[in-house]
Amino acid sequence: MGHEDWTVDRLHVALPHSASRQQLLQDVNLTPIDSLPAVLDGWASAAEDLERARPMIEAVRVSMKVRGVLPEGAEARDMTADILRDAGPRHDRTAPARRRGNRTGPQDHGKGAA
């Protein structure tokens, strides 16, 4: 699938782990509009890498099911961190989350959601 064919929904479906799917949605929701194309390009590249690896992944699954061992040259490791790293810039996870909406402080009375 070419970069131009990806949608956020297709990217979400293409990602194999809930952690990567959640990170995609967080990036889409927290990235400023001007920076969004670059972030989505990173996720599209990660999804394309996964699509290219799919035949090898399926061959490994079949080998494990039939023979109970990995094929020669295959290694078992979780690629989630690699996918998240390669998808692009991350938002600072150490910073306190900024919530918008239902403010409870007296200084915000009557101002509504921001």
For the entire predicted model, the pTM comes to 0.62
**Rounded Cα distance, 23 and 27, in Å:** 6
Per-residue model confidence as pLDDT tens digits over 36-82:
999 999 999 989 988 888 888 888 889 889 998 878 877 777 766 77
The pLDDT assigned to 44 comes to: 94
The pLDDT assigned to 2 comes to: 61
Percentage of the chain modeled with pLDDT above 70: 70
**Rounded Cα distance, 91 and 89, in Å:** 7
Residue 88: how many other CB atoms lie within 10 Å? 19
The pLDDT assigned to 50 comes to: 87
Where b means 16+ CB within 10 Å and e means fewer, 49-86 reads ebeeeeeeeeebeeeeeeeeeeeeeeeeeebeeebbee
Tell me the average pLDDT of the chain.
Answer: 76
The pLDDT assigned to 80 comes to: 66
The pLDDT assigned to 106 comes to: 43
CA angle 87, 92, 94 (to 5 degrees): 135
Q: The dihedral of CA 102, 104, 110, 114: what is its sign?
A: negative
Helix axes 80-87, 18-30, angle to 10 degrees: 20
